[in-house]
Amino acid sequence: MYLPKRGNLFELYDPLQQKLYTLNLPELAKSTVCYSRDGWLLMRKTISSEMFFFNPFTRKLINLPKCALSYDAIAFSCAPTSGTCVLLAFKHVAYGITATSTCHPEATEWVTEDLHFHLHFGSDTLKHSNVVYAKRHFYCLDGQGRLYYFDPSSREWHFIYEYNQPCPYISGRLSYRYERKKKRILLAVRKGVFFKIYTCGGEKPIVYKLEDDKWEEINSTMLDGLTIFTGLHFSEMRVNLPWMRNSVYFPRLRFNVKRCVSYSFDEERYYPRKQWQEQEDLCPLENLWIRPPKKALDYM
């Protein structure tokens, strides 16, 4: 899904069918996307900072209390209509202190606390990954690829003590080669197994899988037909998609060839071939993956 800088026409691209659709969504005017999951968008109005859930296919809108916290990251656990949806926003405010806010769709206000926990963020350009919800916890990677989580029931933060294999793009004696290139660190989960993805300009994406408290770099044979759809707002994973197996897809569309930028681990190359500068972002803020309903074309 591609959010326009102005106007109400939103473009949706289906990478499997390689087709482009448009939706007229005046409800999203003068708003920015914060997070996406289960076909829902979490939006914030740019002027008033009011927040709301929106489903672009059904046009259902659910208002939320205004979040006073100027957050580093925000996420929600599941569809707001499920009855068990929890929202999380957090910000590193001082050494050892993380301001943490939680809410649910029926609440009248956010609950905010300064919790004792130090988030080991990296540089200003590589602070943390996207947030995922799994095993009843919110998970995130810091700027060095270390995994931590927040437990909404106990309202506590925790680190996961795993062996963290260093990525050459951000650490080690050869990392200086990649200083000028745009980097991202992304997190995905499938059936309780975590994957982290490093991108660095037009370099090969590096994917690690968490196995027995150890991050291991994986190749095409270890992906087992997985397709990873990476993004800053949410990452999706699918298995055995036709002609899309063992690949990483980015939410950047090449309009001249009408296809998403992707990397095939089987062929060890990007599609389309490298056409971007070193500083170009493969995961722009205004682009995101969204899960459509089964009869999505009925809403087009």
Residue 179 reports pLDDT greater than 90: no
Q: What value does the mean pLDDT take over residues 90-103?
A: 91
Q: What value does the mean pLDDT take over residues 208-212?
A: 91
Contacts 24+ apart (CB under 8 A), 87-90: 87/42, 88/131, 88/138, 88/150, 88/152, 90/119, 90/150
Range of 203's domain?
Answer: 9-298
What lies within 8 Å, CB to CB, of 53 at 6+ separation is 40, 41, 42, 43, 60, 61, 62, 64, 76, 80, 105
Among residues 286, 284, 300, the alpha carbon closest in space to that of 46 is found at 286
Burial group, residue 124, by CB count within 10 angstroms (0-12, 13-18, 19+): exposed
> Quick one: pLDDT at residue 272?
82
Residue 276 or residue 256, greater confidence: 256
Spatial separation of the C-alpha atoms in residues 216 and 204, rounded to whole Å: 16
What CATH number does the domain containing 100 carry? 2.120.10
Residue 60 or residue 283, greater confidence: 60
> Quick one: pLDDT at residue 259?
79
Domain annotation covers residue 2 = no
Q: What value does the mean pLDDT take over residues 107-115?
A: 94
0.75 exceeded by the pTM? yes
**Ramachandran bin of 250, using left for φ above 0, alpha for ψ from -120 to 50, beta for the remaining angles:** beta
Q: Could you tell me the two tokens for 132?
A: 């995922």
Q: Count of domains in the chain?
A: 1
Spatial separation of the C-alpha atoms in residues 147 and 135, rounded to whole Å: 14
Q: What value does the mean pLDDT take over residues 97-121?
A: 90
Percentage of the chain with pLDDT > 70? 94
DSSP 230: -
Domain annotation covers residue 141 = yes
- Sorting pLDDT into bands at 50, 70 and 90, what band is 256? low
Domain annotation covers residue 4 = no
Q: What value does the mean pLDDT take over residues 180-201?
A: 90
What lies within 8 Å, CB to CB, of 6 at 6+ separation is none
- Sorting pLDDT into bands at 50, 70 and 90, what band is 195? very high
Spatial separation of the C-alpha atoms in residues 239 and 251, rounded to whole Å: 18
Q: Would you say the C-alpha torsion 161, 163, 167, 168 has a positive or negative sign? A: positive
- Name the pairing type of β-strands 111-116 and 97-103: antiparallel
Domain annotation covers residue 205 = yes
Residue 246 or residue 221, greater confidence: 246
> Which amino acid, residue 85?
C
Domain annotation covers residue 195 = yes
Domain annotation covers residue 1 = no
